Amino acid sequence: MKTLRILSALAAFAAANLAAADGKFTVKKHDKGVTVQLNGAPFVEYVIGDANKPYLWPVIGPTGKPVTRAFPMRDIPGEQTDHAHHRGIWFGHENINGFDSWYEELSFKDSKLKGDALKQRLAKIGSIRHREFTEVSAQGNRARIVAINDYLAPDGKKSFEEERRLTFSMLGDSRVIDYEIEFKATTAPVTFGDIKDAGFNIRVPTEMAVDSKKSGRIVNSDGITDKDAWAKRAKWCDYTGPVEGETVGFAVLNHPSSFRFPTPWHVRTYGLFTANPFGTKSLDPKAEDGTFVLKPGEKLLLKHRIIIHKDTMPAEQIEAAWKQYAAEK
Taking only the tens place, the pLDDT of each residue in 102-158 is 999 999 988 888 899 999 999 999 999 999 999 999 998 999 999 999 999 999 999
Which segments within the chain are labelled E, that is strand? 25-30, 33-38, 41-47, 55-59, 89-93, 127-138, 143-152, 158-171, 174-184, 190-192, 198-203, 217-220, 236-243, 246-254, 265-267, 272-275, 292-294, 299-310
Give CA–CA dist 232/284, Å, rounded: 9
Give CA–CA dist 145/137, Å, rounded: 7
Q: What's the pLDDT at 259?
A: 98
pLDDT at 9 over 80: no
Give CA–CA dist 216/243, Å, rounded: 10
Helix 315-327 vs helix 2-18: crossing angle, to nearest 10: 60
How much is the pTM? 0.94
Q: Calculate what percentage of the chain has a pLDDT beyond 70.
A: 93
Q: What's the pLDDT at 111?
A: 86
The secondary structure of residue 261, as a DSSP letter, is S
Taking only the tens place, the pLDDT of each residue in 47-87 is 999 999 999 999 999 999 999 999 999 999 999 999 999 99
pLDDT at 5 over 60: no
pLDDT at 195 over 50: yes
Judged on CB neighbours under 10 Å (0-12, 13-18, 19+), 291 is middle
Q: What's the pLDDT at 2?
A: 46
In this structure, are residues 184 and 163 in contact, taking their beta carbons and an 8 Å threshold? yes
Average pLDDT of the chain, as a whole number: 94
Least Cα distance to 159 among 149, 171, 168, 169 occurs for 149
Taking only the tens place, the pLDDT of each residue in 204-262 is 999 999 999 999 999 999 999 999 999 999 999 999 999 999 999 999 999 999 999 99
24, 29, 232 from 236: Cα distances, Å:
27, 32, 11
pLDDT at 17 over 60: no
Domain boundary assignment for the chain: 2-73+84-327
Give CA–CA dist 266/232, Å, rounded: 8
Give the CATH number of domain 2-73+84-327. 2.70.98
pLDDT band of 22, cuts 50, 70, 90 = low
pLDDT at 93 over 90: yes
